[in-house]
Amino acid sequence: MLEQGLLEGDQTAQTQQTQGEPRDARRHGYVPPPRRQEWYHAAAILVAELVGTGVLALPHTFAVIGVAAGVAVLLVFALLSLYSGILLHRLQSWYPQGITYGDMAHQVIGVRGRQIVFGFIYVAFFGNLAIYVLTCAEALQSAFYGLRWCKWWYTVVTIIFLLPFCQLRTLHNVSYAAAASAVAIFVALAIILVVTFADQSPQDQFSSSLDLVDFPDLPIGGLDASTAAADLSASPSKPTFFRFMSAMTTAIFAFGGQGLYFETMAEMRQPSDFPRAVTLTTVGILAVYLLVALSCVSVYGDKIDGSVLYALPDGPAKSVAALLLFFHVSISYVLAQQVIGRAIHVRWKPHHVDRASTSERGQWFCISVSLLLMSFLIANGIPFFSHLMGVVAAVSTAPLTFGIPAIMVYVASHTMPKPANGEAPYIRRWEYPVLVFLVILTVYLVSAGLASNIHELVEKWSSVGKPFDCHLPKR
């Protein structure tokens, strides 16, 4: 394990430690990056990670479960997510040597806890990477709506575009692009809102619903193909339990960035500033989420079924918004793959990490290509935006956001001795029922959310199209 006694913010000492730590440090993944980020860098990274894919699906959530229920769910999840972020920061202050979620679980619970948490983390990151590729493909499909290419062709374009940017190997190198990405997403959302408020046409004039159609006889590229409308008349006016839970899980995903919190804190000059970053980020994105969801659902209503991009009328504004979203989500992919790629690299070739050598660059290239190919396969295997997001949210985002932070704080405060370099673990009396609620909520969301999304996914496969079919939005 890493030597303890590193002063927070002492970059020179940390550089020396990274280059000269004991041999087993790298074998177990304890390779801390340099501490160069300020709190506003962290906030930019959190915005880039959180805002984008989640906000695109929230209008669909509100359309399915209702406006009142949607607002209530969003507020509750925002508060619980902020609280869990504070819990994770508390754990980091108790155990500063825990630089990843899995490493922290090892510090608090042991080897078994580390294995369980890493299982959830890998599912979350792999799923998120696939969601980002799928979102980028749908953004390009919306931007270039006149081409009528199959969605899987756009996933190929996305993979090619992302490859060179995936060679960045620290979060700090991506933080400035993340700031530009944050600007891009807010400009894109502003365009979406302007188009939405300016649109006074009846809902039935918009045939670009998000349900996709299958073209088994479509030529390569899907060019000049006639479209077939999917029959939506059979959809019930009120959501079934499965539709309700499937839609609600997307709200979990909208606040599920906890898998990146420890890595973000590990690169901050002053990790004590993290609560400021996560609080401002949560309040800001909650306001944006409510504005976008309420505005879009008030205009497009139940015509929204997946990404809100497809509900917009074709035109230059839609193309610009889609391209800005493509840029934003591309940066989100680079951020996420940097974290999972570093974890893989540390366990594969630990003594080559952070050496700036040709062999390190070659190894990172192999890792980034493998992650891109895996994302391509998952995105085309489950090409339905809201359901892919729902599956990932139920299986991994809910435990990492709610249940696991509550369990680790409880265990740390009751069974662990005072850490050598941190505060004594503690829990306030009023927090006990909240921690219990988080665990119960997690169990319910995992079981009911996963079952609901699988049920809806099977129906989509049978009625809309199978994996790697040519999926196009209806015209």
Assign residue 422 the CATH number of its domain: 1.20.1740.10
37: which DSSP letter? B
Give the domain extent around 332.
30-473
Kindly tell me if the per-residue pLDDT of 195 is higher than 70.
yes
129 falls within a domain: yes
Percent of the chain at pLDDT above 90?
A: 16
How far, CA to CA in Å, does 184 sit from each of 177, 321, 324, 325?
A: 10, 9, 5, 7
- Determine the distance from the C-alpha atom of residue 73 to the mean position of all C-alpha atoms in its chain, rounded to a whole number: 18
- How long is the chain? 475
- Give the end-to-end CA distance of the chain in Å, rounded to a whole number: 58
Which pLDDT belongs to residue 107? 85
Work out the average pLDDT over 287-296: 88
Instruction: Tally DSSP H helices, then E strands, for the chain.
Output: 19, 2
Q: What is the total count of domains within the chain? A: 1
Q: Is 25 inside a domain boundary? A: no
More confident residue, 185 or 36: 185
The one-character DSSP state at 51 is: T
18 within a domain of the structure (yes/no):
no
Whether 130 contacts 373, CB under 8 Å: no
| pLDDT given for residue 245 in this prediction | 84
* Domain annotation covers residue 6: no
- Which two tokens mark 217? 């006889």
Confidence of residue 55 (pLDDT cuts 50, 70, 90): confident
Query: What confidence category does residue 323 fall into, taking pLDDT thresholds of 50, 70 and 90?
Result: very high
- Per the domain annotation, does 409 fall within a domain? yes
The reported pLDDT for the residue numbered 217 is 41
The verdict on residue 17 lying in a domain is: no
Mean pLDDT calculated for residue range 343-365: 78
Band of residue 403 on the pLDDT scale cut at 50, 70, 90: very high
The candidate with the shortest Cα–Cα distance to 429, out of 451, 447, 408, 413, is: 413
Q: Is the pLDDT of residue 436 over 90?
A: yes
Span 307-336, average pLDDT = 86
Query: Which residue has better confidence, 407 or 122?
Result: 407
5 band by pLDDT with thresholds 50, 70 and 90: very low
pTM over 0.95: no
- Contact, 174 vs 338, CB < 8 A? yes
C-beta separation of 51 from 185 below 8 A: yes
State the pLDDT at residue 170. 63
Whether residue 291 is contained in a domain is answered as yes
Residues 48 and 52: their CA atoms lie apart, in Å, by 7
Which segments within 259-330 are labelled E, that is strand?
Answer: none
**How confident is the model at residue 475, as a pLDDT?**
55
Report helix angle 53-65 to 67-94, nearest 10: 140
Q: Is residue 24 part of a domain?
A: no
How many CB atoms are closer than 10 A to CB 408? 27
336 contacts 52 by C-beta, under 8 angstroms: no
**CA–CA gap between residue 145 and residue 161 (Å, rounded):** 19
